[in-house]
Every structure is written in C-alpha cells, then in structure tokens.
Amino acid sequence: MIDVLYFAWVRERIGMPKERLETQAKTVLELVEELRAREERYALAFSDLSSLRVAVDQDLTDFGASLDGAREVAFFPPMTGG
C-alpha cells in the first residue's frame, strides 16, 4: 500500500487531497500510467508531466524514480513560494 498525495490544481482536478492505493508499480511513471488508465480526471491531471513535480517520501525526485519501499508519493505543480 502506498499513500498518494495531490496538491494545488492537481488536487482540484483529481478531486481529493490523498488516497491509499494498492499498486504493483515499480516506478513513479508506472504509477502515473496506472492512474491515467483508471479515470478521465487522472488522465487530465497527468496529461502533461512537464507541468508536474513529484516527491517520494517527501524528497523531490523525478518520474523515473523507484517506488521500492516508498510509503508516500506526492504530485504537484511547480512550487511558487517565497
């Protein structure tokens, strides 16, 4: 099981901030493909990966990152703090 978190407009497009999933995905990209295949709202949220960032267990990483042992994956747009 893995916790998947969504922030900002990704959260709004998917319609929830967090869900717990059973997945066989080995990488972030495989997880994205699984989600895209599930429902239109995921396909919409993940339509352009260049407009998204990902963190695995709260460390910023890339879509090729391994999910081996990961507990939490978060998807969000580029940050705009400061």
Partner 1 sequence: MRVVVQEAEFDPGAELNAFGRGNTDIGAIVSFTGVTRDVSGGLSEMQIEHYPGMTERAITQICEEAQKRWSLADVLVIHRHGLMQAGDNIMMVATASRHRTDAFAAADFLMDYLKSRAPFWKKEVTAQGADWVESKQDDEDALDRWS
Stretch that binds partner 1, among 22-30, 33-41, 63-71, 73-81 (CB under 8 A): 73-81
CA-to-CA distance for 82 and 75, rounded, in angstroms? 20
Enter the tokens of residue 53.
């960032």
**Burial degree of 37 (CB within 10 A; 0-12, 13-18, 19+):** exposed
Name the segment binding partner 1 (CB under 8 A); options: 2-10, 21-29, 30-38, 63-71.
2-10
Tell me which residues in 5-34 interact with partner 1 (CB under 8 A).
5, 7-9
| Binding footprint of partner 1 on the chain (CB under 8 A) | 5, 7-9, 55, 58-60, 74, 76-82
